[in-house]
Amino acid sequence: MSRFLRHYLLALQFFTRVPVTGRLAAWVGYSPAMLRASAAHFPGVGWLVGLWVAAVFAALLWALPALPAAPWVAALGATVAGVLMTGAFHEDGLADLADGLGGSADRARALDIMKDSRIGSFGAVALVLALLGKVALLALLAQGEPARAVAALFLAQVVSRAAPLAVIYTQPHVGDVAGSKSKPLADGLTLAALLAGLSWMALALLVVVARFPGMGWWAGVLGAALGTAWMARLLWRRLRGFTGDGLGATQQVAELLFYLGLAVAWSVEGPTA
């Protein structure tokens, strides 16, 4: 249990702005092997992020007047809350990957562009479209059944953080490993760690489906899976492997397609009982 908690807190420290400092950080410790093991808890971090943004979303939906713009304001507030909690970690990866792949067809040059901390045209466009897509899809879901939309926001944070694990497990790390934030993941992911990460996701699915039965949730998971497969193919075709930016971009695409899959399924299902 102690090792489990340390690995979870290390993942939380790495992927969010939640303070794990002082004596707590000293107790957690750090080593590349520990960070590699903590990858199993990426979806577990999604639990905490999901609970936070879902709480903000629900509070705003409850507090705002019942006007057509209310779901949009609530969706924007929840998105801002998520960005603040994670430090735009995954959004930054999406922007960098878009700049790299959009800036050059040459693999080596694309990897060099991705190291540049400045954002370019491709990155800016990708970032704006991703944020607008999240807000629009969340607002759309909330206009149907707000309670299910809140649950969808929570579940999306967990499911989308399982997506990068599939990429890490199936592809090698590429680029400048020595200078990469994802260096500890360069040695890959064990099957046990992958299954542990999927267990976090399965538990979240069970909790949500038990409260809000319906097949639409599986359409959301299918959407995220298709987004993950598309990103894995893109990374392999263009880079012959993954980078930290590629993992962040994979999470963003999986989250967006999770919402899209839900929106399509719920339009077919209609209101729940």
Contact criterion met (CB below 8 Å) for 168 and 232: no
Overall average pLDDT of the 131-143 stretch: 97
Residue 108 class from Cβ within 10 Å (0-12 exposed, 13-18 middle, 19+ buried)? Answer: exposed
- pLDDT higher than threshold 80 for residue 177: no
- pLDDT higher than threshold 90 for residue 96: yes
With a pLDDT cut of 90, the percent of the chain lying above it is: 77
- pLDDT higher than threshold 90 for residue 183: no
The pLDDT, as a whole number, for residue 36 is 84
The pLDDT, as a whole number, for residue 35 is 84
- pLDDT higher than threshold 80 for residue 257: yes
- pLDDT higher than threshold 50 for residue 211: yes
Higher pLDDT, 131 or 180: 131
Return d(Cα 178, Cα 168) in angstroms, integer: 17
Return d(Cα 141, Cα 258) in angstroms, integer: 12
Overall average pLDDT of the 92-106 stretch: 96
Read off the pLDDT band of 270 (50, 70, 90). Answer: low
Overall average pLDDT of the 182-190 stretch: 69
Residue 36 class from Cβ within 10 Å (0-12 exposed, 13-18 middle, 19+ buried)? Answer: buried
For residue 161, the Cα-to-chain-centroid distance in whole angstroms is 4
Cα–Cα nearest to 227, from 172, 169, 166: 166
Lowest mean pLDDT among 24-28, 154-158, 219-223, 267-271: 267-271
- pLDDT higher than threshold 90 for residue 228: yes
Overall average pLDDT of the 78-92 stretch: 96
The pLDDT, as a whole number, for residue 28 is 86
- pLDDT higher than threshold 50 for residue 187: yes
Read off the pLDDT band of 273 (50, 70, 90). Answer: very low
For residue 261, the Cα-to-chain-centroid distance in whole angstroms is 16
pTM of the model: 0.93
Q: Read off the pLDDT of residues 141-171 as tens digits, 9 standing for 90 and up.
A: 999 889 999 999 999 999 999 999 999 999 9
Residue listed under structure tokens 């926001």: 153
Overall average pLDDT of the 133-137 stretch: 98
The pLDDT, as a whole number, for residue 4 is 87
- Alpha-carbon distances of 172 from 84, 92, 182, 184, rounded to whole Å: 31, 21, 12, 12
Lowest mean pLDDT among 15-24, 39-48, 178-187, 212-221: 178-187
The pLDDT, as a whole number, for residue 272 is 58
The pLDDT, as a whole number, for residue 143 is 92
